[in-house]
Amino acid sequence: MTAPAPPPQLDLDPRTVRTARALAERLGRPVVDIARTHTTVSVERATLRLAGLSGGDHERVPWVNHLVDEVRAQVGLEHGVTTPVWDALRRGEAPDLLTLAQKASAAAVSFRLPEGGDRTRARRAASAAVRPGLRRIDRQRAARERLVARHGDPEQRPWIYLIVATGDIYEDIPQAQAAARDGADVIAVIRSTGQSLLDYVPEGATREGFAGTYATQENFRLMRAALDEVSKELGRYIRLTNYASGLCMPEIAALAGLERLDMMLNDSMYGILFRDINPIRTFVDQRFSRQVHARAGIVINTGEDNYLTTADAVEAAHTVTVSQLMNEYFAKEAGLEDWQLGLGHAFEINPAVPDSFRMELAHALLARQLFPDAPLKWMPPTKHMTGDIFQGYLLDGFFNLAGAMTGQSILLVGMMTEAVVTPFLSDRGLALQNVRYVLNAAGGLTEDFRPPPDGFVQRRARQVLAESVDLLEQITSEPERAGSAPLLEAIADGTFGHMKRPADQGKGLEGVAVKAEAYDNPAITLMEADGWGGSA
């Protein structure tokens, strides 16, 4: 395979770029401190899942929920759940973890915070129980590397990313395999509407999702096996994506690592802005989830494109850049590498705006140059898809052309029936045909497209970068309120996506706890000891 030509270069001031990153780090550090000093019910449940606890009661409420809820009711979350859980097992409250959880669901277990030697032995046992889950994630990462070496990666960039969303995992599977045969490189199983607000992960294979399919461990396993089958048939490794977001972000990240998913939607602020999830809950959960993603070799997809659905894509372009810089800082602090940063941006400028396509090129090139080693995820038009399918098909063609000209990495296939109906298979076929035509005809334009010095594209990119630095400086210069952080205050003020989300409000706040001095979580300890999570 011939290496792709390097993307066009913008004449950006390197000092301005360094300033932007330094400000992002300054803004992000207090949030990381908050994440390090808090835990959540989902972080604790994810740790028990890594220790092998799965399944649920007759109402499909997971045993991890029952167990964490009972520990919390008796001794709180401040010390973590693993110490009282393995202390109870050592004291003979139950013969194994599953039985302990089942007894806890009937309030038939007594938990305590052990001291001295009992605490040491409980923690040692908890660490030994969690380690096999992390080793399974390591084996899955190695398995991915072997399969990519055996089957090969797609020959072209960008990778073609296509969504499957029937609600029924057994319908999703043949559609996903058909999409791969039609040219898709990444299959995203979109999640059922509202799952991000469920404070539990459903169990088993599901067939009743709404506008998407529930993210469950069994659904992950079934789809991964189906895509492994079609990867062998096609001679290229087909990647699988789902959503590590919402109230169960850490748990879904752990399940994704255990079942060898390849990409996960995992944005630092999406759940805060667009699902009204408590900001502290989100930042605590996302740090743990990204530590897991780092270890699992999973590429994250961030959600900056969503800002442009609620704010103007020209006026708010700099907020996308600021979010990308923040996502980069938080991701690297948690241990992710550049090749895992699928930072998001989108083709969402109103097509009626003069020079809209030139501005799209400027925005796309700015992202490409700021993050040269990141697999950027380029998102198609949605906000201005009016129902005119012919205009929509043309817009998607321009979107594909912008991706080809600016060297994007992951291209989500746009549908001309966006915002009209759930796309038919024939719509998907036409959309893939559009992508194939543009990439075959213009895929090498990165070699030829060179914006002239001080031309429109150069000037627009510099303007957006300067506005990004101005916004970062404005946020960092504001007086810090007691117990808060400037970024949290900016989110509360509606800086991003015009959504105001105070740090003391939002869904899931009751599931947050301040860590005690003696807090212990063996999953975090083991991951950080192995280098997954530290200083950016």
Beta strand pairing status for 410-412 and 377-379?
Answer: parallel
Give the largest CA-CA distance in the chain: 74
- Is 89 within the bounds of a domain? yes
pLDDT tens, position by position, 414-450 = 998 876 666 777 888 899 999 999 999 999 999 899 9
- Is 111 within the bounds of a domain? yes
If one compares 250 and 481, the residue with the highest pLDDT of the two is: 250
Helices (H), 182-248: 217-234
* pLDDT recorded at residue 307: 79
Q: What is the mean pLDDT of residues 398-412?
A: 96
* pLDDT recorded at residue 338: 97
**The overall pTM is greater than 0.85:** yes
- Is 112 within the bounds of a domain? yes
- Is 493 within the bounds of a domain? no
**Is 214 a known active-site residue?**
no
Q: What is the mean pLDDT of residues 498-516?
A: 95
**Average model confidence (pLDDT) across the chain:** 93
pLDDT tens, position by position, 48-76 = 999 999 999 998 899 999 999 999 999 99
- Is 430 within the bounds of a domain? no
How many helices (DSSP H) and strands (DSSP E) are in the chain? 20, 11
Return the C-alpha torsion angle 398, 404, 410, 414, nearest 10. 20
pLDDT tens, position by position, 67-121 = 999 999 999 999 999 999 999 999 999 999 999 999 999 999 999 999 999 999 9
- Is 185 within the bounds of a domain? no
* Catalytic choice (214, 243, 332, 377): 377
Residue 78 sits in which domain range?
38-130
pLDDT tens, position by position, 5-23 = 677 789 899 999 999 999 9
* Catalytic choice (305, 396, 427, 520): 305
In this model, does residue 225 exceed pLDDT 50?
Answer: yes
* Catalytic choice (270, 307, 329, 393): 270
* pLDDT recorded at residue 154: 87
Structure confidence at residue 533 as a pLDDT band (50, 70, 90): low
CA 368 from chain centre, in angstroms, equals 19
* pLDDT recorded at residue 428: 87
User: Which residues lie below 8 Å from residue 351, measured CB to CB, with a gap of 6+?
Assistant: 381, 384, 391, 395
How many domains does the chain fold into?
Answer: 1
Helices (H), 371-498: 389-406, 425-442, 445-448, 456-477, 486-492
* pLDDT recorded at residue 420: 67
Residue 158, preceding peptide bond in cis (omega within 30° of 0): yes
- Is 388 within the bounds of a domain? no
Give CA–CA dist 319/291, Å, rounded.
Answer: 25
**Is 118 a known active-site residue?**
no
- Is 48 within the bounds of a domain? yes
| Three-state DSSP string of 96-123 | CHHHHHHHHHCCCCCCCCCCHHHHHHHH
**Is 377 a known active-site residue?**
yes
